Structure 1
Amino acid sequence: EQSFKYFETYLYGQKIDINGEISFKFRDAGHILGSSILEIWVTEDEKTIKLVFSGDLGMPGRPIIDEPEYIEYADYLIMESTYGDRDHPPLKESAGKLIEIIKKTVLRGGSVIIPSFAVGRTQGLIYELNDYYEYNEVEEYMKIPVYIDSPMAVAATEVFQKNSGVFNNKTQDLILKGDNPFRFENLKYIKSTEESIALNKADYPKVIISASGMATAGRIRHHLKHNLWNPKNSLVFVGYQAEGSLGRILLDGVKKVKLLGEEKDVALEIYDLEGFSAHADQGFMIKWLSQFKNKPQKVFVVHGEKEVAEIFSKVIEEKFGFETIIPKIGNSYRIDTDNIEVEVDVEFKPDVLREDITEELENIHAQFTSLMEKSDGFLDEELLKTNYDILKNRLLELESQLMDLNILVGK
């Protein structure tokens, strides 16, 4: 927390000038909350070049988070390649399979263990389970507890709930209708170590979602230790498993594994649901690259296993004719300002800009209207007792910002 004073926060789309020579802009990468594509402009000797760092790109059509933004120009591009060799199955297909796995496991008296990344993946799982439990006629036997057992995941979910302004339209619509997608009746958030230990002493069917996502650390290792041996249980992977991680070792089919000093039989059923991945697959990354209106001088392919990066580099070269480089640790590269294609000036279109601002104003008006309509219902004694100061502070901040806007547009 001591480091927080060294950070400054900015919104997506704000262009920030650092010193007259370097400026940058964060764009939504659609991967996890706050994930960003970075556009950087560097001016030297009256020449400006633009570098774009893709960051981890997300997949379109995912819950909660908006889709990745497209970029039109770059002189140099640093491009991720995590899933550069494959495409993902549809999310809804994987979500449906997860429900079927839970049903099958519960009917035989077992529990479902899900290693999950604390930020992004866990919240996506909660969203999908909320959708199942809130909008379906659920059989009585399926009304089992769903535990989120990761201090970081619990804290991250609280952060999500404080930043709903960057959620996608579908999720915001749910919230405006009164459905908090991070709450449903049988969802339980575990915080203390004692509660976590008690889960493995409880002999009833349940779902445990715990970090880390690759089972390399965290409480998930304790849950695996107590559940791997039982053939009634199921282990469901919902994210990338790196080489050498416990998750990859289990996926590769080992029959025994040493865990927390003890050798354990691996007898439970193991599933891998790639459709939950928050990383863009090859198909979407190709679509994202196709939106560039110029040809970057070079594309640096990073953030992928060696073979995957090589496959993706070849695909980029064949489809677009871009020169690609796969950097190695310790490599350095000189950014050449010669032969740079000048970024085409965006034509000034006042009607388009006016429409954009009007749409933002309409969105704000709709949210205020929704709050006013619901105020009699939610401003009860319990809420006022526990959250009055938070509500008051947020409203004062909004009031101040609205006054600043009125000054800006005043004549």
Structure 2
Amino acid sequence: MGARCPAVACGALALCLALAASTNPGFVVRITQAGLDYAHQQGIAVLEKELAQLKLQDISGDFRIRHVGKVHYELSSRDHGSFDLKVENVYIKISLKLGSDASGKPTIDTSDCSTRISQVRVRFSGKFGWLYNLFHSAIESTFRKVLESKVCETVANSVRSDLQPYLRTLPVTARIDAMAGIDYSLVAPPAATAQSLDVDLKGEFFSLAHRSAAPFPPLPLALPPDHDRMVYFGASSYFFNTASFAYHAAGALVFEITDAMIPKGVDFHLNTSTFSAFVPQLEKMYPDMLMKLRLSAPSAPFLNIGPGGLLLRPVVDVQAYAILPNSSLAPLFLLGLTGNVSAVIDVKSGHVVGSLKVGRMKLSLKQSDVGTFQVRTLQSIMNIFASSILLPRLNARLDQGFPLPLPDRIQLSKILVQFHQNFLLLGADVHYQPRGWR
């Protein structure tokens, strides 16, 4: 059976969410012709299964047979015998209406459907098969009209009971962890071209506890005309920087380093005895006491994306404390730390994951409660803290990643990662794993 249903193909992978006022997207999904063709194949497979289970209603009619006269016939489940029905060349044209409900979840329904069947062949058997076969052409014509109406009815039911629930598996908002989520709502209607379908999403991280608008707007995002993969994801610098803003607003960009966190094999401890080599006053003021370092970002760090990759230039405050015998903390000094951090991006199991690499850092003394000292002498020890303690913990979190806007049971393969000015481009082929539509 052949069929044409491009609207179903678009609906299955279009990632169409609630329509909103047009604005620059933070995240763009492009479904190429190869992706639409694949969705078309999946839609046809589902439709074929639905039509194979089609039950015909009782039919009746009148016709004339030469030399016999007028004959009235009825075909119903009360009759005995059987017949073979062969349908050739089924053409289906479907128009889908996309929208959203009050919760922002996608909705889909058929707005128009037409079917044309070029030929229906019927061959009867049983006791009266020879008689029915005398007027097979009249019955075939009736069957064709009944089937054409039933096909569109089946399509409409399948869209409402199968495709609509499936689209609801598409995340409008995706919870990442206990602190942040992602808003993947649509900001403009899908834009179709001769080769692809583009869907503009809000693409914004937000704090679960204190959701507020990002204090910066998204820049225009135009994907390159690549068509080697079925689907492309364009994540702008705005998308990543709202993550930084959300986690900073949630108070998540604060890290504490204690002596117990120093890996085995590192030949020093986080105490005043070690630091007295760099800050001589410590040995006299706080002899042989454990220390704690509290790292915090005074403002949300911003990530830059360019053809060379992803670069982060964080500004970090490092407050050092001495842990007194009664467990209270005595402030020692406050350092300002800046440096270059590069990021590596990949996709695993439908999640964007990453890892950071710290480049050269620069220290400055912002405040001291233990007198003046040469900050540059602390450079090497701070590098060790960053590379052996802080970075592994950050990378462990980044390895969990965040989810891409994918409906249920979609797997990605042949992952492509490219860097462009102000956005990251991810390409992939898709594979759908069906599991019974009804």
**TM-score, with normalisation over the residues of structure 1?**
0.24
Higher relative contact order (CA 8 A, sep 6+): 1
**TM-score, with normalisation over the residues of structure 2?**
0.23
Please state which structure has a larger fraction of its residues in strand.
2
